[in-house]
Structure 1
Amino acid sequence: MMQLENLQPYAIVEDGPFLRIIFDHSYISLLVDEKSYQFIPAESSEIFINKELNKVHNLFDVFTFEKGEEILHVTVIDLMHMKQFRTQLQQIIHTFYEKRTMIPVAEVETIVQELEKENILRLIDRAIDEGEEHSFLELTNRLSEYGGKVEE
């Protein structure tokens, strides 16, 4: 019986339609018949994830593990049959995308305020064009909340 002991990427790289999860020595370890086998990058050392489909692309690539003189060859598809492996791989992918898309709250708030200010300016222009004095006065008061000024 094969169990996952450790799964940690050496690097994660976006490469066109793929997300490449790269492994190096000791970044993966398996427990087979109560023996711990360490990953060695002899044949394959990467898992390719199709970003659009969120599926593993290189299922038939072979990963090599060793324990002393014993060598174990395991295909990516065999690794994918282990629930622990699938779960940890999904966590790695999720963490990568989460880190990549993090935007500071203060930055988001600044952008939203700028968009609101620009929208008020457009509405002021429309109120002027349509001769809506009441809307114009209301909008210019709102604009002052954003530190904006109406240009004369």
Structure 2
Amino acid sequence: MVTVKMLKPYYIKADDRHIRIVLAYQSFAVVINNKVYQFIPVESKQIRINRVSGKVENIDAKFAFQKGKNVIYMSMAELISTPGFLMHLHTIAQPYLKEAPNVEENEELIQELEMKNLRYLIDRALDERNEEKFDQLTKILHKEIDQRNRKK
């Protein structure tokens, strides 16, 4: 059985989209069959997390751990299934995570895009000289505008 003994990043770098937890020699240790193996930076050296979803993105990364002359490689997928690993990551990444967009903001954005699309379809009906489609779409547009005015 594998468990996480220690996970302390060398440093953390956050940009608009990702949190990068950079590891250094002996900043990460796992216990395998009651023996402590220390991280060595010969393969992957960082854990990349999406700032909005909080999900680990580099699941194909391989990490090396050493005890004496014995080196063991573990994939991110294996580490994620290790007890305590995600808990350690969550604790480290939590201050850097972005809040998910507000539901009301999403609804406003969708309504705005729908209105733009409706105006585009009206322009297209005009270009095609399709009076029936134009009349139908302008009625929908006026109805939407009236509903919005009533909400305010």
**TM-score normalized with structure 1 length:** 0.61
Q: Corresponding residue for 1:108? A: none
Taking the aligned partners of 1:32 and 1:60, their CA distance within structure 2 comes to 21
Aligned-pair Cα RMSD in Å: 1.6
Tell me if 1:51 matches 2:51: yes
| Contact 2:2-2:83 within 8 A present in 1 as well | no
Provide structure 2 residue ranges, at least 5 long, that are not aligned to the other structure.
98-152
Tell me if 1:62 matches 2:62: yes
Q: Corresponding residue for 1:85? A: 85
The structure with more radius of gyration: 1
Q: Secondary structure at the match of 1:83?
A: coil
The one-letter code sitting in structure 1 at the alignment partner of 2:64 is T
Q: Corresponding residue for 1:3? A: 3
Deviations 1:87-113 (A, max 9, x none): 01100112445xxxxxxxxxxxxxxxx
Taking the aligned partners of 1:96 and 1:53, their CA distance within structure 2 comes to 12
Q: Secondary structure at the match of 1:29?
A: strand
The one-letter code sitting in structure 1 at the alignment partner of 2:51 is K
Q: Corresponding residue for 1:13? A: 13
Taking the aligned partners of 1:94 and 1:16, their CA distance within structure 2 comes to 15
- After superposing on structure 2, the runs of 4+ consecutive aligned residues of structure 1 that deviate more than 3 Å are none
Q: Secondary structure at the match of 1:55?
A: coil
The one-letter code sitting in structure 2 at the alignment partner of 1:75 is S
Deviation of 1:77 after TM superposition, in Å, equals 1.1
Q: Corresponding residue for 2:27? A: 27
Percent identical among aligned pairs is: 31
Deviations 1:61-93 (A, max 9, x none): 000000011000001111111230100110011
Taking the aligned partners of 1:95 and 1:83, their CA distance within structure 2 comes to 22
Provide structure 1 residue ranges, at least 5 long, that are not aligned to the other structure.
98-152
Q: Corresponding residue for 1:146? A: none
Q: Secondary structure at the match of 1:56?
A: coil
Q: Secondary structure at the match of 1:77?
A: helix
**TM-score normalized with structure 2 length:** 0.61
The one-letter code sitting in structure 2 at the alignment partner of 1:86 is L
> How many residue pairs were aligned?
98
Taking the aligned partners of 1:82 and 1:62, their CA distance within structure 2 comes to 14
More RCO (CA 8 Å, sep 6+): 2
Taking the aligned partners of 2:89 and 2:27, their CA distance within structure 1 comes to 13
